Structure 1
């Protein structure tokens, strides 16, 4: 990351420096910057940049538009202070190359998750859960929120899945720490937001059961089964069905301090 400048992508694209917010121009120009930022110092050909922004139907005079946006970004960088501490955007002969810039929040998230894995592997689940929560807190919205283009749309989907997987892992850790009641409230909200996400339903059923709400856990299963049947014409997966059966027979193993959760 350039000295004094910070770029973030875990939400709307944000650029800031000692003077405050750094304006990066209109939405399509900001999308150009986001695409180049995600190349992490690798050049991107003109054709690949056009494809990333417009797909198979670029507008007329697209070359002029690309040149306009690149020039606009260079002016924005110059206005941020100029000098070696500001990102550089140049044509290399093989593509556009952005240097001196990185997505700081993405880097910080990766570092937090690395520390969380180390803590987990060392048996310090409490620290691992805390660090995972700090990584989640870096999100301010959808990835590169509001910026159009096929490449960023695909990245948004990929990062939405990564975000949900971390949420599920963190909530699993919370359950292992015995925070059942707290987890119920959060999981109810998450299941409402992602009603077909069986992993979240699984965790909510377990949290309810371990909170002494066995009937509510069974109700969660029936509601999930109905949603899955209506939306997908299918039955719940084997992990959800297995947990349902264990709750029905009141399996003592479900009340152990650290149950064997599904992977």
Structure 2
């Protein structure tokens, strides 16, 4: 599974088909987890990122329900419960923003090494990851 946050937040299966992600809060939760792919995210941080300054009265329960919806959408094994929070079971390279950073770094090194053709190809690949406004 690949995750896209450089543009509208999306999840894409290995075969290229998009996973339909529900409303804004579900996309916000996915984005918050994807930006920390493979790392634990405290529940309080997720509540802040999903609801901002107006969390629901039972923020913990609302987050658990939202995580349950995300698991049903992506697959139960894609979001793990960890001590005090949740973790998206993904490698950073599964998330477009991290691939973008890697490709830009490789392109910059290729340019510094005197290989402008390779640099252009890598930087074009990085720019192609953008799919719209963030």
Taking structure 1 as the reference length, what is the TM-score of the superposition? 0.44
- What SS does structure 1 have at the residue aligned with 2:80? strand
- What SS does structure 1 have at the residue aligned with 2:45? helix
User: Could you tell me which residue of structure 2 aligns to residue 94 of structure 1?
Assistant: 84
Judge conservation of contact 2:43–2:86 (CA < 8 Å) in 1: yes
User: Could you tell me which residue of structure 1 aligns to residue 103 of structure 2?
Assistant: 112
Judge conservation of contact 2:28–2:49 (CA < 8 Å) in 1: no
Which consecutive unaligned segments of at least 5 residues does structure 1 have?
144-263
State the 1:140 CA deviation: 0.9
Aligned residues: 132
- What SS does structure 2 have at the residue aligned with 1:106? helix
User: Could you tell me which residue of structure 2 aligns to residue 58 of structure 1?
Assistant: 55
Judge conservation of contact 1:116–1:131 (CA < 8 Å) in 2: yes
State the 1:19 CA deviation: 7.8
User: Could you tell me which residue of structure 2 aligns to residue 123 of structure 1?
Assistant: 114
State the 1:12 CA deviation: 0.7
State the 1:123 CA deviation: 2.1
Taking structure 2 as the reference length, what is the TM-score of the superposition? 0.80
State the 1:91 CA deviation: 2.3
Equivalent-residue separation in structure 2 for 1:129 and 1:19 (angstroms): 25
Change (3 A) 1:134 1:101: closer
1:172-187 to 2 correspondence within 5 Å?
A: none
State the 1:71 CA deviation: 0.5
- The structure with the larger Rg is 1
Note the alpha carbon deviations across 1:161-200, whole angstroms, 9 max, x for none: xxxxxxxxxxxxxxxxxxxxxxxxxxxxxxxxxxxxxxxx
State the 1:134 CA deviation: 2.9
Judge conservation of contact 1:9–1:106 (CA < 8 Å) in 2: yes
1:140-151 to 2 correspondence within 5 Å?
A: 140-143=131-134
Equivalent-residue separation in structure 2 for 1:142 and 1:116 (angstroms): 23
Which consecutive unaligned segments of at least 5 residues does structure 2 have?
none
The reply to whether residue 72 of structure 1 matches residue 66 of structure 2 is no
Note the alpha carbon deviations across 1:70-102, whole angstroms, 9 max, x for none: 110111133xxx6xxx52x23222321221354
Equivalent-residue separation in structure 2 for 1:6 and 1:40 (angstroms): 11
